[in-house]
């Protein structure tokens, strides 16, 4: 893992042990073929962009990557960087429709959405 936690903010340094555990688990199971992909989800108030370097390495190792984005309106600040990363799937995406550029990127990149709430089918598209 090629990330120096001291070069990132205090939130990143707090999450560093989680990165190490996450990466260790991926490496252990990747060789066995048990894991075919990973899904990043959790508290939407925590900025998930800190996980992008780990997700890039997981993808480079052959894993599919799913991320939960735009589940809450206040969680849109990370969407741009995750769309540049091009996840293989987006969980929820409830508020992606609030920015036309997000919709265009998701559609043009053909990123599937895991819609868990029926009302979003009506509101989002």
DSSP characters for 34-74? Answer: ---EEEE-S-TTS-GGGGHHHHHHHHHTT-EEEEEE-SSGG
CB 92, CB 108: distance < 8 Å: no
Which helix H or strand E contains 79, and what residues bound it? Answer: helix 79-85
Residue 28 DSSP SS3: helix
Among 38, 31, 41, 33, CA closest to 55: 38
Q: Which of 71, 81, 100, 123 is catalytic?
A: 71
71 is an active site residue: yes
Beta-strand pair 37-40/113-114? unpaired
Catalytic annotation, residues: 71
């Amino acid at each position: 893992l090629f990330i120096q936690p001291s070069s990132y903010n205090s939130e990143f340094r707090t999450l560093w042990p989680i990165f190490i555990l996450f990466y260790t688990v991926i490496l252990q199971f990747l060789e066995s073929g048990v894991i075919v992909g990973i899904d990043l989800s959790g508290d939407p108030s925590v900025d998930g962009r800190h996980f992008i370097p780990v997700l890039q390495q997981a993808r480079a190792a052959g894993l599919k990557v799913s991320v939960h984005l735009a589940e809450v309106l206040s969680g849109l600040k990370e969407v741009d960087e995750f769309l540049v990363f091009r996840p293989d799937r987006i969980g929820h995406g409830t508020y992606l429709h609030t920015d036309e550029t997000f919709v265009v990127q998701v559609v043009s990149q053909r990123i599937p959405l895991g819609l868990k709430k029926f009302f979003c089918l009506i509101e989002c598209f």
